[in-house]
C-alpha cells in the first residue's frame, strides 16, 4: 500500500532542537530501506511531503511518527492512503481500464511487468 504524508510545523522553527541534518539522516535510512519512495518540501517550505510504502496504515503511521521533527513534537502530519493508478505516463487512463489495487507497469528499458507495490523493491 502507498501513503502520502503531509508534514507541517506545529511550533515555531526557532524552538526546534532537531536540525535538518538529523532529519535527512532519518530520511536517507527510509529511502535506503524502501519505505519512502519520494520526499521533499513544498516550494514554499510550509509542508514536508513524502510517499511511504507500508503494509498497513498503522505501519505507515509509525514510519511517519518516527521522523525526528515529528517525534520531537515540532511537527504533525496528515496520512492519506493513496491508490496509485498511473505513473510516468503508464497505467489505465479510462474508467474501463482501472482495476482496484493492481496496476501492471512496464519497467522502463526492461519490458518486465511489475505492479505498483513492487516499485522500490527493484
pLDDT of residue 87: 74
Which residues face 23 on adjacent strands? none
CATH H-level superfamily of 2-82: Dimeric alpha+beta barrel (3.30.70.1060)
Per-residue pLDDT averaged across 77-100, rounded? Answer: 79
Higher pLDDT, 78 or 108: 78
For the entire predicted model, the pTM comes to 0.74
Position 118 pLDDT exceeds 60: no
What average pLDDT is seen over the chain? 83
Instruction: Outline which parts of the chain fall under CATH 3.30.70.1060.
Output: 2-82
Per-residue pLDDT averaged across 57-64, rounded? Answer: 97
Distance CA 45, CA 40 (A): 9
H-helix segments, the chain: 20-33, 57-65, 68-71
Amino acid at each position: 500500500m502507498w501513503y502520502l504524508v503531509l508534514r507541517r510545523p506545529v511550533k515555531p522553527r526557532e524552538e526546534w532542537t532537531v536540525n535538518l541534518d538529523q532529519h535527512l539522516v532519518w530520511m536517507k535510512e527510509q529511502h535506503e530501506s524502501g519505505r519512502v519512495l519520494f520526499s521533499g518540501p513544498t516550494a514554499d517550505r510550509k509542508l514536508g511531503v513524502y510517499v511511504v510504502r507500508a503494509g498497513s496504515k498503522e505501519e505507515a503511521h509509525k514510519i511517519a511518527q518516527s521522523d525526528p521533527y515529528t517525534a520531537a513534537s515540532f511537527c504533525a502530519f496528515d496520512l492519506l492512503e493513496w491508490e496509485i493508478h498511473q505513473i510516468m505516463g503508464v497505467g489505465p487512463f479510462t474508467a474501463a481500464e482501472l482495476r482496484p489495487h493492481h496496476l501492471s507497469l512496464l519497467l522502463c528499458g526492461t519490458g518486465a511487468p511489475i505492479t505498483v507495490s513492487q516499485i522500490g523493491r527493484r
